[in-house]
Amino acid sequence: MKKSHLRFETEVIHTGYNSGEHQDSLVSPLYQTSTFTFANAEQGAKRFAGQEEGFIYSRLGNPTVKILENRMAVLEKGEAALAFASGMAAVSAVLFALTKTGDHILCSRGIYGCTFGFLQLLKNKYEIDHSFSLMNSMELLEKEIRTNTTCIYIETPINPTMKLVDLELVVSIANKRGIPVVVDNTFCSPYLQTPISHGCDIVIHSATKYICGHGDVIAGIAVGKKDFIEKVSKTTLKDIGGIISPFDAWLLLRGLKTLPVRMDRHCENAGKIVEFLRNSPKVLSLYFPGDSDDPEDMVIMKKQMKKPGGLVSFSIKGTKETAQAFMNHLKLIKIAVSLGDAETLIQHPATMTHAVIPREDRIKMGIEDTLLRLSVGLEAWERHY
Ligand SMILES: Cc1ncc(COP(=O)(O)O)c(C=O)c1O
């Protein structure tokens, strides 16, 4: 991808689209087609042989999807991107591409429940092992990276405890060993954090969240070096087939245009909620990037994030039932998993997004039974009297 000189707020609207190539349509068109016609048999043969550029069949590429991929590559400071049918399709395709039987994946302590589920599948079916690390010191990382570690997998902020991982610290050790660093950047979006600019190799998104922003699409994105993305495209994506539909790609392109405006508002509203919760006698602990008891977190946040984001976790004084009763009493806030939507959502990780993780492991990850996670929406934060 060519280096862009546009600002982020301009790139989200214009990058990767040239109206002159699409009948001068202001908005990128929706190519809702499963296949593409060839002028003649020879042209079809050339396209299949890779001797002529052009589309063949939408599982192998589609113009609307391509615009989204090109735009995401630029926004995430990568060389190329691939869109998928879901965040989990992106996670699984990337991990499949980086591992084989006998390998080991080192993960941040605290990852999305279904990513945890996929790691179990890799272990049980393909003998690809994994372990979790706090990743908070060189010494620890040196100890926990094994000779067969072929991938370091990070969520930062960690879902749902909001602890941060210092990307440059991990990269400094991973680079020495030639181990690719993968970051799930779902919680930040490229507006708040671009891991590739800190030396990471691959970025993954559940585009279902802030990239879409409107709660009406399930999709995933992976961004990285051109060679790696091409390999995933021609192997895992083509043959397993978890591709995004052109319509969903079109909706994501629409959502992306307002990403910076939405993120600023999510962050402003989250800050107000944090202020409120910090003073509430009902709240036992609060989890927000840069707001933990660990002063290092603030240093890391300032180094790699533009703002703390729109997600706030907190634990309520009492029991699991107290936390559930609290949720049931909310009037406007919706009880739902997912995040990054216009509506404020609340969920109970121990029984919802992280329920698949055995309780003992969950507690080690800091996910107590009284923990709640808020995805702060775009509503007015002040009361209207
Ligand atoms: C951090 C994170 N990564 C990955 C995923 C999976 O994404 P999807 O639901 O789009 O498959 C999620 C879903 O909630 C998530 O929160």
Which residue matches tokens 């929706």?
Answer: 30
Does the Cβ of 248 fall within 6 Å of ligand 1? no
- Residue 375: how many CB atoms within 10 A of its CB? 27
Find the 206 Cα to ligand 1 centroid distance in Å.
Answer: 5
Please state the atom number of ligand 1 nearest to the C-alpha of residue 208. 10
Please state the atom number of ligand 1 nearest to the C-alpha of residue 353. 14
Find the 342 Cα to ligand 1 centroid distance in Å.
Answer: 17
What is the identity of the amino acid at 99? Answer: T
Quick: pLDDT tens for 165-199.
Answer: 999 999 999 999 999 999 999 999 999 999 999 99
- Counting residues of the chain whose pLDDT is more than 70, the rounded percentage is 98
Q: Which residues pair with 83 in a beta bridge?
A: 221
Indicate which residue's Cα is closest to atom 2 of ligand 1. 112
Indicate which residue's Cα is closest to atom 12 of ligand 1. 206
pLDDT band, residue 291 (cuts 50/70/90): confident
Residue 60 in tokens:
């192998």
Quick: pLDDT tens for 349-373.
Answer: 999 999 988 999 888 888 999 999 9
Residue 19 has pLDDT above 70, yes or no: yes
Does the Cβ of 87 fall within 6 Å of ligand 1? yes
Q: Which of 215, 192, 219 is nearest to 81 (CA)?
A: 219
Quick: pLDDT tens for 93-142.
Answer: 999 999 999 999 999 998 898 999 999 999 999 999 999 999 999 999 99
Does the Cβ of 63 fall within 6 Å of ligand 1? no
Find the 159 Cα to ligand 1 centroid distance in Å.
Answer: 10
pLDDT band, residue 290 (cuts 50/70/90): confident
Find the 328 Cα to ligand 1 centroid distance in Å.
Answer: 24
Find the 88 Cα to ligand 1 centroid distance in Å.
Answer: 6
CB-based contact 218:252 (threshold 8 Å): no
pLDDT for the residue 227: 97
Residue 384 has pLDDT above 80, yes or no: no
Does the Cβ of 112 fall within 6 Å of ligand 1? yes
Indicate which residue's Cα is closest to atom 6 of ligand 1. 87
Q: What is the pTM of this model?
A: 0.96
pLDDT for the residue 3: 64
Burial of 309 (0-12, 13-18, 19+ CB in 10 A): buried
Does the Cβ of 155 fall within 6 Å of ligand 1? yes
Does the Cβ of 88 fall within 6 Å of ligand 1? yes
Find the 222 Cα to ligand 1 centroid distance in Å.
Answer: 13
Q: Is the peptide bond before 157 cis (omega within 30 degrees of 0)?
A: yes
Does the Cβ of 220 fall within 6 Å of ligand 1? yes
| Chain centroid offset of residue 86 CA | 10
Please state the atom number of ligand 1 nearest to the C-alpha of residue 90. 11
Average pLDDT over residues 340-350: 97
Residue 84 has pLDDT above 60, yes or no: yes
Residue whose CB lies within 8 A of the most ligand 1 atoms, among 158, 161, 186, for a mutation test: 186
Quick: pLDDT tens for 212-269.
Answer: 999 999 999 999 999 999 999 988 888 899 999 999 999 999 999 999 999 999 999 9
CA distances from 78 to 59, 201, 243, 274, 351 (A): 22, 8, 20, 33, 36
Please state the atom number of ligand 1 nearest to the C-alpha of residue 337. 14
Residue 123 in tokens:
């272990």
Residue 2 has pLDDT above 80, yes or no: no
Does the Cβ of 218 fall within 6 Å of ligand 1? yes
Query: Which domains does the chain carry?
Result: 8-256 (3.40.640.10), 260-375 (3.90.1150.10)
pLDDT band, residue 296 (cuts 50/70/90): confident
**Alpha carbon distance 214, 60 (integer Å):** 27
Does the Cβ of 186 fall within 6 Å of ligand 1? yes
Residue whose CB lies within 8 A of the most ligand 1 atoms, among 107, 114, 345, 373, for a mutation test: 114
Tell me the average pLDDT of the chain: 95
Please state the atom number of ligand 1 nearest to the C-alpha of residue 218. 10
